Amino acid sequence: MNLLSSMNVKVSQQWVCGATRLPRLMGLFCLALGFVGAGQVNVWAADADIESQEPNTAVESVAKRTLQFDNVEPKHGFVLSGLDARLQLVVSQQLSGQLCSDVTHQVAYRVDQPAVVEVRDGMLVPLQDGEATVTAKDTNGQAVQLRVRVENTGNEAAISFPGRVVPIFTKLGCNGGGCHGKLAGQNGFKLSLLGFEPNEDYEHLVRESRGRRLSPASPHQSLLLQKSVNTSPHGGGKRLDVDSHEYRILSRWISQGMPYGSEDEPQVVSIDVTPEHRRLNAASSQQLAVLATYSDGSVEDVTRAAVYESNDSEMADCDERGLVHLKDLVGDVAVMARYQGHVTVFRADIPVPDSTITEDAFPQQPLNPVDRHVFAKLQSLGIGLSPVCDDATFLRRVTLDLAGRKPTVPEIVAFQGNASPRKREEVIDRLLASEGHAEFFAGKWNAILRNRRTGGALRFANVAFHQWIRESIASNKPYDQFVREIITASGSVASHPPVVWYQQVTDTNQRIEDAAQLFLGQRIQCARCHHHPYEKWSQADYAQLSAFFTTVSKKTGRDPLEPVVFANLGGSSAKHPKTGEALKPAGLDAEEVAIGAQDDPRAHFADWMTNSSNPFFARALANRYWKHFMGRGLVEPEDDLRVTNPPSNPELLDGLAKSFIESGYDLRALIRLIVTSRCYQSASDALPENIGDKRSYSRYYPKRLQAEVLLDSIDQLTLSPTKFAGMPAGIRAVALPDTGFSSYFLTVFGRPESTTACECERSQEANLSQSLHLLNSEEIQSKLAGDQGRAARLAADANRSDEEKIRELYSIAFSRDPDARELKATLTYVAGKENRREAYEDVLWSLINSKEFLFNH
C-alpha cells in the first residue's frame, strides 16, 4: 500500500494570545506556522470552505476533514505584519503506527497570489499587502491549504537593538566564547557572551572607537557589514550574504540611526518548539518551528534566529534553519533551541525499522519497577532485550560494581553450589554489607568531595574525612543526613571530619557550585558571570544560592594546618554582581528564606535541598548511581540535569527518584533496586535486534575497570600486592584515603586528581600508554616474575595438575572455567615450555592483557 496515498492532513500549532494558550494538534499532515519580525500572527479566516484555484475533490475532502486547531473553530489564515515577518512551515505525514515523516522540504508549494507572498525554503516571506492562499501538495496529489494576509509592508517599524540585532550576533556566533564574546574580546572588539548584556554591546558597537564601525549615511560601507560579508578582512570569515534577511535587518538598523529601542518594549518570556516530540525513522529529518512569546502576549516565529544544539551528535544534528538530521542509530535524541536567554527542547524517538518485537518478547513479570520502565521503552522502539547473563558473569559483574574487586575462588564455588532461587539477591545483600563495599564507595565519594592532600603530605584531615565517609556508607547512613552533615559541618576535623570539605573548597562561589553539581545535578557555574546559556538560571539565582554560604568563616585552632570552620548565625545575603543589590538566600526556583537570628543559613539550604519536594536532589543521586552500575547515565553527563538535556527514559528516572525518597534516602535500597533488575542482569552480548542501541539499556554495556580496581585485580591474580608509602602492607588501591599516592599505573589508567566535583576527572578512555604499560612495563613484569608471586608458586606446586591450576587462574581472572578450546591451548603451551615458571608467567600475562580481564561485562 502506498502510504502517501492514504495520508491525512492536519494543522499543528500552539498559539499564545494573552493568557490563553491553545494546545497543539499532533496532526497527520501538520503545518506549524510562525514568523520572524516585528508584527504579530493572528488567526483570521472563519471557516474551512477555502476554495482551491484548481478544485480537487480528494484535496478538498481531506482538507475539510483534518485542517483544524484543537478546541477552536478551524481557521486557515495568518496576518504577516511588515516585510520582516516570516512563517516557518512544518509539513508532516503520518506513516504506519505512530511514525511521522517530515515532508516540509519535499512537498510542492503553490501561492495563488505570488505578488503577495512567496515560499522560500519552506518559509513564507511577505512581499506586499494583500491576501493569498498557499497550497502544499505531495506527489500523489494530497494537499493542504492555508490563507494568509500581509499588511504594513510599506510601514517599517524602528528596529530594536536588543530585540533584533543582538540575536543576529548570537546566531552567527559573533558573541560566542571563541570570538568577540570572550572576556578580552577579539581584535579590539568586545561583545557580551551570547548577548546577555545588550546595553554593554551597544556601547562597544556604536560609541566605542568614535563610532568607526557604523556609517548611517552609507550603511553598506559600515565596517560591521563589510566584515560580516568578508569584503573587509575578517578573522571569522564570511558570516552573511548581502542578500540575506539578517544583512537587510542590520543595514536598515544602521540607516535608521542605530536606535537602541524603548525601555517598555515587550520582552521574550518563553519560547516553544513545534513539534515538541516526534517518532521518526532513522536517517530522516524534521523541520522545527520555534515560537517566542512576549510579555504583551504577542507571538513571533524565531525559527531562523534561534540557535540549535543536539545533545548527542552521534544520533542527530541540527542546521541553522532548524532542520534536524537524524543519523542511522535507533534510540532517542533531544535538540535544544535557544533564543534570547530562553531554551526549549525537541525530542525524537527513533525506532528500529520494521521491527517485529512485540510485548511477548519481554518477561511478562518484570523483576521490579526498573524493568517496567525499561521494557516499555524498548518495546516502544522495537528494540530486543538480551537474555539474562549466566551466574558466573553476574557474580563477577556485581562483585566488581558493589565491592570494587573480583570474586574469590571460594565465593565462586559457594555461589555455584547454591541452589536457592534467591541466590543472586543473597549475594547482593552480602556484598552491600561487606567492608569492600564501604571502601569502594568511600573512594568514589572521596574523589568528588575533593578530599586530597595539599603540599605533598597526607594529613590527618584527609584520613579522618575518608574514614567518616567510609563509616557513613558502612552504616548505611541516610543520604539526606550524609549531605546535611557535610553542608552544615562546623568545628575542627577531630570533632567533625566533614569540615574538611570547607578546608578544601575555600571559595564561597566554589562551594555553592560544588554543592549544586554534587547534590542537585545543576552546573550553575555559568550563571556566576552571565545568564546560563543552557538553563534559566540568572546571576540573581546564582547570588541567592550563594547567600547561604556567605557567613561561613574559619579561624586558627590548636593546629595551624587544621583551621576551625564556623558559620556566623543570623541573616545572610549576597550581592548581585551587576547591580550590587543585596539578595537574600533562596533555593533554585524557590522563595526567599527568612533566616532567624540564631539560625545557621546553611541549615536552611540543607532543609531545602533534602525536602522531598525538591525536584533535583533525589534525581541527581539516582542518575549518578544508575551510571555507576549501568555504564551510562539516564542523563549524560551524570551531573548535568538540565531541562535542555533530558533523560533518555524520564519515567525511569522519576521512578528511581520516587523510590529513593520513599525509602528514606536509603542508598542500599536504591542499589538493590537497580542490581536486582532484569535490566542490570542482562547479558552484554548484542543481538541483531539491539546491536544499534546505546541509550535504552537493552543489554549490559561493558565498561573498563577503574584504575584502582584494575590494579587490585592484577595484584589479586599475580599475588604481588602493590606497596603504597605509609600504608599497611596489602591495602587495596580502592581503600586509599586520597588520590595523592604516587603510582604511574593509577595515573595512566585515569585516576582522578580530586581537584573538581566532577566525576569526569576519572578517565575511562583507552590509550596507547595503557596498552604499552600492560604489555611491557617493568611494574607488570616484576609482578609476574616475583619470587613470591603466583607464577612461581604454581610452577613449584607438584600436588596439582596443570589443568587444575589453569582452571583456578581462569576463575580468578574471569570468574569462570576455561572453555575446551582455551583449556587445550593453554595446556599445550604450558606443556611445551621447558621453564614452567616462565610458562605460567606468560599465561598470567596473556590473561591480564585480555579484554575480558580489563572490562566488566
Given a contact cutoff of 8 angstroms between Cβ atoms, the answer to whether 70 and 24 are in contact is: yes
Task: Answer whether the bond into residue 275 is a cis peptide, omega within 30°.
Answer: yes
Rounded Cα distance between 282 and 29, Å, is 20
C-alpha 528: how far from its chain's center? Answer: 21
Residues 112 and 223 in one domain: no
Rounded Cα distance between 457 and 633, Å, is 35
Residues 281 and 142 in one domain: yes
| CA torsion angle 657 658 664 667 (round to 10) | -30
Rounded Cα distance between 329 and 803, Å, is 45
DSSP string for residues in 432-496 = HTSHHHHHHHHHHHHHHTT---BTTB--HHHHHHHHHHHHHHHTT--HHHHHHHHHT--B-TTT-
Q: Find, among 115, 110, 117, the residue nearest to 135 by Cα.
A: 110
Q: What angle do CA 559, 560, 565 make, to 5 degrees?
A: 85
Rounded Cα distance between 159 and 180, Å, is 23
Residues 12 and 67 in one domain: yes
Residues 842 and 717 in one domain: yes
Given a contact cutoff of 8 angstroms between Cβ atoms, the answer to whether 36 and 55 are in contact is: no
> Which residues touch 725 (CB under 8 Å, ≥6 apart)?
741, 742
**Distances from the Cα of 829 to the Cα of 467, 782, 790, 846, 850, angstroms:** 47, 22, 18, 12, 17
Reported as a single tens digit per residue, the pLDDT across 133-168 is 988 888 777 888 888 889 999 887 899 999 999 999
pLDDT at 35: 33
722: domain range? 706-856
Q: Residue 728: phi, psi to the nearest 5? A: -60, 150
Rounded Cα distance between 517 and 388, Å, is 35
First-to-last alpha carbon distance for the chain, in angstroms, is: 44
Say which DSSP state 77 is in: E
Given a contact cutoff of 8 angstroms between Cβ atoms, the answer to whether 29 and 142 are in contact is: yes
Residues 556 and 483 in one domain: yes
Residues 181 and 129 in one domain: no
The verdict on residue 665 lying in a domain is no
Task: Answer whether the bond into residue 637 is a cis peptide, omega within 30°.
Answer: yes
Q: Find, among 798, 799, 802, the residue nearest to 828 by Cα.
A: 802
Written as nine digits, the cell of 47 is 471557516
Rounded Cα distance between 76 and 44, Å, is 7
Given a contact cutoff of 8 angstroms between Cβ atoms, the answer to whether 706 and 690 are in contact is: no
Rounded Cα distance between 575 and 188, Å, is 30
Residues of the chain falling short of pLDDT 50:
1-76
DSSP-assigned beta bridge partners for residue 324: 286, 318
Q: Find, among 124, 73, 80, the residue nearest to 299 by Cα.
A: 80
Q: Which of 610, 632, 652 is the last residue of a domain?
A: 610
Rounded Cα distance between 143 and 52, Å, is 10
The verdict on residue 229 lying in a domain is yes
CB-neighbour burial class of residue 87 (10 A; exposed 0-12, middle 13-18, buried 19+): buried
C-alpha 632: how far from its chain's center? Answer: 11
Rounded Cα distance between 492 and 470, Å, is 19
The verdict on residue 54 lying in a domain is yes
Given a contact cutoff of 8 angstroms between Cβ atoms, the answer to whether 272 and 305 are in contact is: no
| CA torsion angle 185 187 188 193 (round to 10) | -20
Rounded Cα distance between 146 and 681, Å, is 54
C-alpha 723: how far from its chain's center? Answer: 39
β-strands 703-704, 855-856: how paired? antiparallel
The verdict on residue 598 lying in a domain is yes
Q: In what order do the strands lie in the sheet with 87-88?
A: 87-88, 123-126, 117-120
The verdict on residue 469 lying in a domain is no
Given a contact cutoff of 8 angstroms between Cβ atoms, the answer to whether 734 and 746 are in contact is: no
Residue 763: how many other CB atoms lie within 10 Å: 16
Written as nine digits, the cell of 765 is 578512555
Report CA Rg, the chain: 32
What 3 state SS string does 579-609 have? CCCEECCECCCCCECCCCCCCCHHHHHHHHH
Helix residue ranges, H only, 719-819: 744-748, 768-776, 778-785, 790-796, 802-814
Residues 184 and 232 in one domain: yes
The verdict on residue 659 lying in a domain is no
Say which DSSP state 682 is in: B
On the CB side of 554, CA atoms within 13 Å amount to: 25
> Which residues touch 519 (CB under 8 Å, ≥6 apart)?
483, 609, 617, 620, 621
Rounded Cα distance between 24 and 71, Å, is 10
The verdict on residue 470 lying in a domain is no
Written as nine digits, the cell of 593 is 528564606
Q: Which of 255, 280, 309 is the last residue of a domain?
A: 255
β-strands 77-81, 143-151: how paired? parallel
On the CB side of 180, CA atoms within 13 Å amount to: 23
What 3 state SS string does 360-400 have? HHCCCCCCCHHHHHHHHHHHHHCCCCCCECCHHHHHHHHHH
Q: Residue 169: phi, psi to the nearest 5? A: -60, -40
Q: Which helix (H) or strand (E) holds 269?
A: strand 268-274
Residues 716 and 746 in one domain: yes
Q: Find, among 763, 836, 754, 850, the residue nearest to 802 by Cα.
A: 836
Given a contact cutoff of 8 angstroms between Cβ atoms, the answer to whether 175 and 41 are in contact is: no
Q: Which of 224, 255, 286 is the last residue of a domain?
A: 255
- The pTM assigned to this predicted structure is 0.86
Residues 245 and 277 in one domain: no
| Residue listed under C-alpha cell 527513533 | 350
Residues 27 and 150 in one domain: yes
**Distances from the Cα of 288 to the Cα of 80, 245, 300, 307, 502, angstroms:** 19, 19, 14, 12, 47
Written as nine digits, the cell of 415 is 555461589
pLDDT at 335: 97
Amino acid residing at 266: P
Residues 88 and 197 in one domain: no
Sign of the torsion angle spanned by Cα atoms 194, 643, 671, 470: positive
Helix axes 423-432, 391-403, angle to 10 degrees: 20
The verdict on residue 636 lying in a domain is no
> Which residues touch 749 (CB under 8 Å, ≥6 apart)?
706, 707, 710, 711, 763, 770
Given a contact cutoff of 8 angstroms between Cβ atoms, the answer to whether 436 and 404 are in contact is: yes
Written as nine digits, the cell of 829 is 603451551
Rounded Cα distance between 650 and 641, Å, is 11
pLDDT at 366: 66
Domains contained in the chain, number = 4
Instruction: Specify the long-range contacts of residues 113-117, CB closer than 8 Å, at least 24 apart.
Output: 116/148, 116/150, 117/80, 117/148, 117/150
Say which DSSP state 351 is in: P
Residues 205 and 302 in one domain: no
